[in-house]
A and B are shown apart, each in its own frame.
Chain A
Amino acid sequence: MTDRRKRARGRRARRWRGPLLLVGLLAAIALGAPWIAPYSPDVPPTYATQLHLPPSAAHPFGTDSFGRDVLSRVIHGSRVSLSLSVAAVSLALLLGTAYGALAGLIGGTVDRLLMRMLDVALAMPRLLLLLAVAAFFPTRLPLTAFILLLGCTGWFEVARLVRGEVQALMHRDFMLAARSLGVPRVRQLWRHLLPHLFPILAVTATLNVAGTITLEAGLSFLGLGVQPPTPSWGNIMLDGADALFANWWLTVFPGLAIMLAVLTCHALGDALRDLFAMDQLPA
């Protein structure tokens, strides 16, 4: 191996080290929440002296109006916020890939119709849709319904990307060969297209997780997302919003957690883009 190539490889490895370390850190915090968190996220101490404590050695992120340790709630909240976002994005990827691949594979009038419908769906502001469903839902949104809702409103952009990619792939020689050999469409999709879609899906996934983390936080901050007492980064901030000036730590620390998670996703996305040598993907 030449010296230059070795150096390039070293550079690429260094680019990976940061994002992977961060992802590992977040995953470890989320998975190990019960062991890492110094206190329980929901059982408050029984004495009133523990309410509204500013950050200290005993409570690095302070305590909230129920006397619960905010650090513990942020750690447990990472579990909810991250797993919810990953689940919702997985669903969105599944739906978007199915729709986009279908449109690209079939082509013709069906493709045009499906794309026109997608354009319309894309034109509607997602937050408004989410708010409307939350408003019309008979009860407070249960967590599973919230995840389904985020997934079902998040796949439009994925579908458009996948369809574009599939359409480009259909003109490649290996797809021409597959078609002329009479490979069934399902197998065309599964064996020939999906492996090529992996890079674009991986990068989109990281960006979508970042967006969903923010969206979840926003909806929970409005009281329409994850319902208390389950902690999420958004609803911890909601707890603090009533008395923002009295307990800033309820707002600042969950926000920093969101920032860390979103930046991690972006860094991972950049690293993936490097790996697959893609420049032409949406930022």
Chain B
Amino acid sequence: MARRVLTRLFHTVLVVWTAASVAFLLLHWAPGDPISAMADASRVPPAQRAVWRAQQGFDQPLAVQYGRWLGQVARADFGFSTSQQRPTRDVLASRLPNTLLLMGLALLTSIAAGAALGAWQGARVGSVGDRVLSSLMLVLYAVPEFWVALLLLLLFTYYLPILPATGMVDAVFHDQMGPWEQLQDRAAHLVLPWLSLTLMGTAVFARVQRAAMRDQWREPFVRTAFAKGLTDTTVRRQVWRTALLPVVTMAGLFLPAVLTGAVFVERIFGWPGIGSALLQAIALRDYALVSACVVLGSAMTTIGSLFADLAGAWLDPRMRTT
């Protein structure tokens, strides 16, 4: 088990290193350097630019710069974000919690809802209810989540205006509210972004859970359990426990999709997270923030799959030995 964790940790480091190298390559492949990309750089005389360049070390050999860049990544210091006009670390510190809140909540609810629906379906494959739900899940699975987000936005802020459209809190009145109202305000702003991510996630997990449940239902231990005279509910619970493993594995694999979804959803609902900061950084060619996001996103994904792996080992003793 300890060896497994160590291998996976090494893998995580490898991934972050690769992501950092890709970001470095892209940085140097891009036209100009961060100095000329800075705002108003055209008005700065070449002599001054050369001084800045030397200060930042951009005149050093590529290998030296690469080493310095890796050092920066290790310290989670990605330099100055030109689009936000503050250090990248500050941007991450202020934006990341919002994204994690959204992603974490969506992930938890979609696993719960997906596992529940899938387990229900898996115990009665082929019934009317199963077929209706399967079609619904397939459609949800097939449509792009940003489209779902746009439809939800249209539906609940325009035709049936019961929810706020953008931001995390009311831009004007939030500060004047009492604590309880502030909480309500936050919750109301969370609903649509959360729902957009959750609908897609639920479809993914329900499909996996249903298939796993259906397969487990054919295993010999089910017949044994019934032969022993166990009740329907007890057997169902046992089957469900063994069928939970693919769902946990899926949770790890699904992280990139949540991350991707969060980028779109944050954009559409004006959610002040890392995704919307990234899109803004791309538009303004803020190389520091973009590369920070690439490294961070890769790190988050591998760490997530590491946790999924460990959870799987906890669920299924057979996986602990390897």
Contacts and interface: CB of A to CB of B under 8 A. Distances in A.
Report whether chain A binds chain B: yes
Interface of A: 116, 119-121, 123-129, 131-138, 210, 214, 217-218, 221-222, 224, 237, 241, 244-245, 248, 251-252, 255, 258-259, 262-263, 266, 283
A125 B301 contact: yes
Given A128-B297, A132-B294, A134-B282, A120 B15 contact: yes
Contact of B259 (A128, A222, A224): A128
Contacts of A241: 150, 268
B30 A138 contact: yes
28 contacts: A120-B11, A120-B14, A121-B18, A123-B298, A125-B259, A125-B260, A125-B298, A128-B297, A131-B263, A131-B279, A131-B290, A132-B294, A135-B287, A136-B26, A217-B147, A237-B147, A244-B154, A248-B154, A251-B147, A252-B151, A258-B143, A258-B144, A258-B147, A259-B139, A262-B143, A263-B139, A266-B142, A283-B208
B18 A120 contact: yes
Given A128-B293, A138-B30, A244-B150, A222 B279 contact: yes
Given A125-B298, A255-B144, A262-B143, A119 B11 contact: yes
B282 A224 contact: yes
Contacts of B15: 120, 123-124
A129 B147 contact: no
Interface string B261-301: 00110011000000000110110010100110110011001
B27 interface: yes
Nearest to B142: A262
A1 B31 CA distance: 69
Nearest to A217: B144
A276 to B, nearest CB: 18
B254 to A, nearest CB: 11
B146 interface: yes
Contacts of A263: 138-139, 142
B23 interface: yes
Nearest to B289: A135
Contact of B301 (A123, A133, A237): A123
Nearest to B282: A135
Q: Is the interface of B mostly helix, strand, loop or mixed?
A: helix
Nearest to A254: B147
Contacts of A120: 11, 14-15, 18
B301 A245 contact: no
Contact of A129 (B14, B29, B143, B294): B294
A283 B31 CA distance: 41
Interface string B19-45: 100110011011100000000000000
Nearest to B19: A124
Contacts of B29: 136
B302 interface: yes
Contacts of A125: 256, 259-260, 297-298, 301
Contact of A210 (B11, B139, B142, B291): B142
A259 B153 CA distance: 18
B226 interface: no
Given A127-B259, A136-B287, A222-B279, A214 B151 contact: no
A135 B138 CA distance: 33
A154 to B, nearest CB: 13
A128 B294 contact: yes
Interface core residue of A123, A245, A255, A263 (most chain B CB under 10 Å)? A123
B189 interface: no
Nearest to B263: A127
